[in-house]
A = this chain, B = another copy of it.
């Protein structure tokens, strides 16, 4: 059974929700959890929970990096921050993967500091998993978008590597044997979107075993057209934030409806199925978290607003990725390039 290190102090509702999630998990699976953070605080929360002490250990870290802190400055100033200590424990082999719901920038820097880049990988990518419509019954309800902010701009080689890494992750985690991989672009023609995208397109078409379906446009992101969508970080970050913005809008609407008018409330009840489909977009708890790809060790970042259930699912995804050899598959794919 894999051991997963968890940054107990990361996230809007940390450490309470993080520790509660791990306590629940300890009763459901064989996963070994290493909680990193303020030991006495963690123990106090555990004391109020039912949990299996055989499956949980605690590693003390004095400091914690807040959600709003500048990542660079915080990582420099707080050498004993939980995210840094947790990354170090993974790097030394005491744990197999890392999960955090905390400051994403700080988590990326912690990886850069302690993890080992897979040989041949030019730059790590932050991937995001998001729900979208499906086109056929067996299709996974989640798509993988990368990079969403580890980079700003990319060259063609980096985009091709992102495609291979995303493909390997989707094959292992979503169990789609041949994920549909696409470039996010401003048109469908192979030469659209400037030299970098055109070059990436040409190269992706020739990668053996990759199901490259070409370019997709912004309006295709919410559809089931592609399973793995590749872009530079600036573009991916804007797209991801727009998807989140839509989710907020729907929650706002539902909230207003429930609070203000009985007619709206009734209307929403009647629309349960269809609005539910939209509202699923906001349910960060249901899907496990977003992987950072390109290191020999795996980091799964959960949403900052993660509840106990979201944390639990993120750790399950991390354990699954370890068991299924995701980083090995990525290394093999990059090695073949």
Decide if A152 touches B257 in the complex (CB within 8 Å).
Answer: no
How long is the Cα–Cα vector from A277 to B257 in the complex, in angstroms?
13
Interface residues of A in 213-250 (CB under 8 A from B): 217-223, 233-235, 237-246, 248-249
Check B264–A237 contact: CB distance below 8 A: no
Q: How far is the CA of A277 from the CA of B239 in the complex (A)?
A: 22
A241 touches B219 (CB 8 A): yes
A267 contacts the other chain (CB 8 A): yes
Q: Which residue of B lies closest to A192 (CB)?
A: B152
**Is residue A53 within 8 Å, beta carbon to beta carbon, of the partner chain?**
no
Q: Give how many copies assemble into the complex.
A: 2
**Interface residue A337 (Cβ < 8 Å from any Cβ of B):** no
Do A217 and B193 have beta carbons less than 8 Å apart?
no
Provide the main secondary structure of the chain A interface: helix
> Which residues does A use to contact B, with CB under 8 Å?
133, 149, 152-153, 184-187, 193-194, 197, 217-223, 233-235, 237-246, 248-249, 253, 256-257, 263-264, 266-271, 273-274, 277-278
**22 contacts across the A-B interface (CB closer than 8 A):** A149-B186, A152-B186, A152-B193, A185-B234, A186-B233, A186-B237, A218-B237, A218-B239, A218-B242, A218-B243, A218-B244, A219-B245, A220-B241, A235-B235, A238-B239, A239-B242, A253-B278, A256-B274, A257-B271, A266-B267, A267-B271, A268-B271
Q: Besides the contacts A184-B238, A217-B237, what 6 more A-B pairs have beta carbons closer than 8 Å?
A: A186-B234, A193-B234, A218-B239, A218-B240, A238-B238, A264-B274
